[in-house]
Amino acid sequence: MLPRETLPGVYVCADAAELARTAARRFVDWAWQSIAKEGNFNVALSGGSTPQELYRLLATPEFRAQVDWPRVHLFWGDERAVPPDSPESNYGNARRELLLRVPIPAGNVHRMEAEDANIGRAAHDYESALRQFLPLDDRGFPRFHLILLGLGKEGHTASLFPGSKLLRETSRWVSTPLVPKIGARRMTLTLPVLEAAVRVVFLVAGADKASILREVLCDHPDPPLPAQMVKPREGERLFFVDEAAASKLSASQSQPMPKGNS
Ligand code: 6PG
């Protein structure tokens, strides 16, 4: 059964398991389309806990066999300043749940080395990897076929947090903000890169995200929340959410979110 669309581009799934299954099915479809059209499928994975079930599902025989992994290139939207074997590592978690279980060549996996003592140089190296493997859009930014994003309870996404001057970045592709809220440094793709994507998909699950999801989709705070600022210039923006996260949404209660460029 297809998830129901409440607001334009917002698909509500019964629970986190159906959300993961819906996302896995679409990942396979989008991989086929991108590989057929351009010969590869360039993806930026999200960190956090929400996408872990999706990664686990993609690694199962049912889904693993449907993806031409040697034509997939995996990057990350952001990373914590921790070593890859840390339980906090976005790369480490994806490696455990997905990378070790699918036939993706090591050269197709591009992790952010945010633990590097010289994180600025690591960010520069990451920009070089983006330049080497991704086509550029008409504004000169690397164009992903798919960027997966999560939503923090205060409206952050990737490592773009409310109040950060990084939200005004217009030229750099990768940045390394010190995040006061967590008292740590991160490495993150910047808004211009997120907005260059063919498709951005937010994965949001759990009752604890109901308030922020409603604010992101239905309210118009000034300044806008980081997650509200991610508007692909030519691509589409989708939200795959579960009923618990959607519990404060209803099309009748809110002005529909401005339609993305879908
Ligand atoms: C990170 C993520 C971050 C995450 C949100 C939601 O490195 O933490 O990139 O943006 O997606 O905080 O996290 P959960 O999925 O764990 O709720």
Question: What is the CATH number for 108?
Answer: 3.40.50.1360
CB 64 within 8 A of CB 102: yes
| Segments in the chain forming alpha helices (H) | 16-38, 52-58, 61-64, 90-97, 119-133, 191-195, 210-218, 226-229
Q: Which of 44, 19, 11 is nearest to 206 (CA)?
A: 19
For residue 251, what pLDDT band results from cuts at 50, 70 and 90? low
Mean pLDDT of 129-146: 98
Q: Classify 145 as helix, strand or coil.
A: coil
Contacts of 44 (CB under 8 A, 6+ apart): 74, 75, 76, 77, 144, 146, 147, 148, 189, 197
Does a structural domain hold residue 82? yes
Give the model confidence (pLDDT) of 206-237 as tens digits. 999 999 999 999 999 999 999 999 999 999 99
This prediction has a pTM of: 0.95
Does a structural domain hold residue 167? yes
For ligand 1, the distance from its centroid to the CA atom of residue 90, given in whole angstroms, is: 9
For ligand 1, the distance from its centroid to the CA atom of residue 113, given in whole angstroms, is: 18
Does a structural domain hold residue 254? no
**pLDDT greater than 70 at residue 252:** no
Does 49 contact ligand 1 (Cβ within 6 A)?
yes
Does a structural domain hold residue 210? yes
For ligand 1, the distance from its centroid to the CA atom of residue 51, given in whole angstroms, is: 9
Tokens of 129: 């990897």
Q: How many domains does the chain have?
A: 1
**pLDDT greater than 80 at residue 254:** no
Ligand 1 pocket, mutate which of 19, 45, 46 (most atoms under 8 A from CB)? 46
Write down the residue that tokens 């297809």 correspond to: 2
**pLDDT greater than 60 at residue 262:** no
- Please give the Cα distance from 119 to 165 (Å, whole number): 18
CB 187 within 8 A of CB 114: yes
Does a structural domain hold residue 27? yes
Does 147 contact ligand 1 (Cβ within 6 A)?
no
In this prediction, residue 3 carries a pLDDT of 83
For ligand 1, the distance from its centroid to the CA atom of residue 76, given in whole angstroms, is: 12
Give the model confidence (pLDDT) of 88-115 as tens digits. 999 999 999 999 999 999 999 999 999 9
Does a structural domain hold residue 239? yes
Tokens of 256: 């529909």
Question: Beta partners for 42?
Answer: 73
Does 46 contact ligand 1 (Cβ within 6 A)?
yes
Does 150 contact ligand 1 (Cβ within 6 A)?
yes
Order of strands across the sheet with 41-45?
Answer: 4-5, 10-13, 236-242, 199-204, 146-149, 41-45, 72-76
CB 45 within 8 A of CB 79: no
Range of the domain at 158: 4-249
Does a structural domain hold residue 261? no
**pLDDT greater than 60 at residue 260:** no
Does 158 contact ligand 1 (Cβ within 6 A)?
yes
Q: What percent of the chain has pLDDT over 90?
A: 91
**pLDDT greater than 60 at residue 152:** yes
